[in-house]
Structure 1
């Protein structure tokens, strides 16, 4: 009695696992495609079972075709056809050829890898982050997709170089000018790259810049006093007038 696993035939519009040496095969495909996994046997007394995650998908005696669900068909030659594959269909599929006693079972494993475009989410999810000046900044980018996406970051039109993992962006907020939008890009070559962003705000105490510390003017002339205040959160600004009258200090808001 002989049991073997052979090369599956080519079916129009179907992606098929093809090997000639009996080794496991990985089929890379896209959503809503159809995949054919081979498990041919040569003995009419051999039954075929297909398993996935220890769950029985289909079972039949040789020579009988069976449709176990809307998307799974077991052909009479032992091959398994998976229609309209979805992301959750990715993983190993085990073909088990069950032979009469005293011969044991023969198994072979194939794998389906459903490829799909990148998606990305940021941590924090709300896309906003506030830290104090000189505090450590930690931003994270969680990407999904098959193949695994490559992650990159950019800010203010420049890509950020990395030494370690790209998924986590970590640095010290030692300069308030580091505030701004940080964009995470995930790209796996399937479809368009996915993007998400985090707006970073660095809290710092008010800084005051005065263009001229004094201004000369004749009586009755209108003048402008320039005072630039920078802070986050925005500071409340008051202008105080101070003058010495008869030896006393006079301050007016």
Structure 2
């Protein structure tokens, strides 16, 4: 037994010396058998490398080695590298649970009498699923409106991953505009820069990395754009009535969140000191409630919003005047040639007076505003309007003596005990052509209809002496007048029916005549 152990010791020594010596001979030439084999292996899987040199290895005195690069893994049946994942399967090598550092050049070599060892070479490439690291690591970033901001998504893997960005579920592309800011991507998409950041750029940005190995990897960054308060109001002038409850509202958006205060004629409103007012908030909407409006509450109210970036104020007027009247655009023609105008206005107090203005214009719509400014208005004062108890009040008026087939404009304003309203918007209408000759039957009197429509039309504009003329499509207005004869059409239908009935009667009479007068002669 002692001699046997000694022989084993003698065998091991040359192998170790061979490993050391081969490390110094980096330029040692190998006689490669066959072509190099490429293996692409994903991390975590099993790698099996073959060594098809069985006849050579069996020769007496031949030593077979497995190497990774210059490092010896096995020599003969002995495993030199202490790695539990390495297994000799005859002459072949199996590696379990492949990791990212297992890639490289593997070779099985047979030392023979020739000066150049025989070798079979395997090239192993490790496929690594993508991983993502965001910058900043916290996944949160804030920036001031108007500046530029960069967010990063560092992606690793083999092959190199492809990186894509999305915001709130919408894919982003480079060199595109997003709410007025330009998107720039660099470093194979791993860096995204927003120039001229806008408040609407706030949101969740998601980067996705994929390379065909494993699953996609995602990174998430929440961007918050800071900006000074922005106030929006639906009405700058609010009509109210004494004894009624009234609510004034302003909508405030800002980041960071603002502090909102209310003022009456520049004096702060403190809810705890007054029973007349109440203040409420619903999201970005801030409400000032006047519980019971009195004449002293008709004033200017200021909605003031402040945050760390600035201060914004908007003035809202509460008044008892009527609201701006609204016309019913359907101007009706009466049988006598007069025209009926109708409008609506809101007033919590009784309307005392209307002032109706109308005028004849030179041509139909569209009207040149500069030309209209010089056209005179005729004024009608309505001192006894219809009296109603509801806040929404309706008034009608009959215009007489208008020129036939002519374009007109009208506007109106109303007054209660607190003053006048603003003028309504201008309503435009065209009078119809009226045939008054009593000798012409009604069936030949036309009904006239006007129709205005937007159309595309070809336009030509001069572009300069060198570039010549350029032609394009523009929009214009076409006004069409249609003449129809509804009475005539009905009359023709009735006449046709009478002709058919009369024809049927004549045919029956002819048939009876034939039977009575011709039948005896046939006998």
* Pair 1:104–1:4, CA change in 2 (3 A): closer
> Once structures 1 and 2 are overlaid, which stretch shifts more, 142-151 or 47-56?
47-56
| TM-score calculated relative to the size of structure 2 | 0.39
Aligned to 2:88: 74
Count of residue pairs brought into register by the alignment: 224
| Structure 1 portions without partners, runs of 5+ | 7-20, 243-249
The separation in 2 between residues aligned to 1:34 and 1:174, in whole angstroms, is 50
* Pair 1:152–1:4, CA change in 2 (3 A): same
Aligned to 1:48: 64
Aligned to 1:9: none
Cα shift at 1:190: 3.3
Aligned to 1:201: 224
The separation in 2 between residues aligned to 1:52 and 1:100, in whole angstroms, is 20
The separation in 2 between residues aligned to 1:75 and 1:228, in whole angstroms, is 77
**Structure 2 counterpart of 1:128, from 113, 117, 140:** 140
Q: Does 1:159 align with 2:190?
A: no
> Once structures 1 and 2 are overlaid, which stretch shifts more, 97-106 or 126-135?
97-106
3-state secondary structure, aligned to 2:238: coil
The separation in 1 between residues aligned to 2:35 and 2:268, in whole angstroms, is 93
Q: Does 1:168 align with 2:184?
A: no
Contact kept, 8 Å, 1:97 with 1:107, in 2: the verdict is yes
Aligned to 2:268: 252
The separation in 2 between residues aligned to 1:113 and 1:100, in whole angstroms, is 30
Aligned to 1:13: none
The separation in 2 between residues aligned to 1:251 and 1:110, in whole angstroms, is 87
* Pair 1:53–1:126, CA change in 2 (3 A): farther
Cα shift at 1:141: 1.1
Kindly indicate which of the two structures has a greater share of residues assigned to helix.
2
| Structure 2 portions without partners, runs of 5+ | 1-29, 175-184, 270-523
3-state secondary structure, aligned to 1:230: strand
* Pair 1:203–1:54, CA change in 2 (3 A): farther
* Pair 1:160–1:139, CA change in 2 (3 A): same
**Structure 1 counterpart of 2:149, from 122, 137, 146:** 137
1:11-67 deviation per Cα after TM superposition (whole angstroms, max 9, x unaligned): xxxxxxxxxx322x221233443322234442534433333365432222xxx4758
The separation in 1 between residues aligned to 2:38 and 2:208, in whole angstroms, is 28
Aligned to 1:213: 236
Q: Does 1:235 align with 2:258?
A: yes
1:131-184 deviation per Cα after TM superposition (whole angstroms, max 9, x unaligned): 111221111112233333221111133211136521111121432111111111
Higher RCO (CA-CA < 8 Å; seq separation 6+): 1
Aligned to 2:115: 103
The separation in 2 between residues aligned to 1:188 and 1:99, in whole angstroms, is 41
> Once structures 1 and 2 are overlaid, which stretch shifts more, 195-204 or 155-164?
155-164
Cα shift at 1:101: 7.0
Structural mapping, 1:75-94, within 5 Å: 75-77=89-91, 79-82=92-95, 84-94=96-106
Cα shift at 1:107: 5.5
> Once structures 1 and 2 are overlaid, which stretch shifts more, 124-133 or 159-168?
159-168
The separation in 2 between residues aligned to 1:5 and 1:40, in whole angstroms, is 12
Q: Does 1:29 align with 2:41?
A: yes
The separation in 2 between residues aligned to 1:180 and 1:210, in whole angstroms, is 25
* Pair 1:205–1:108, CA change in 2 (3 A): farther
Aligned to 1:12: none
* Pair 1:152–1:117, CA change in 2 (3 A): same
Aligned to 2:209: 186
* Pair 1:40–1:226, CA change in 2 (3 A): same
3-state secondary structure, aligned to 1:159: strand
Larger radius of gyration: 2
The separation in 2 between residues aligned to 1:239 and 1:139, in whole angstroms, is 40
3-state secondary structure, aligned to 2:100: helix
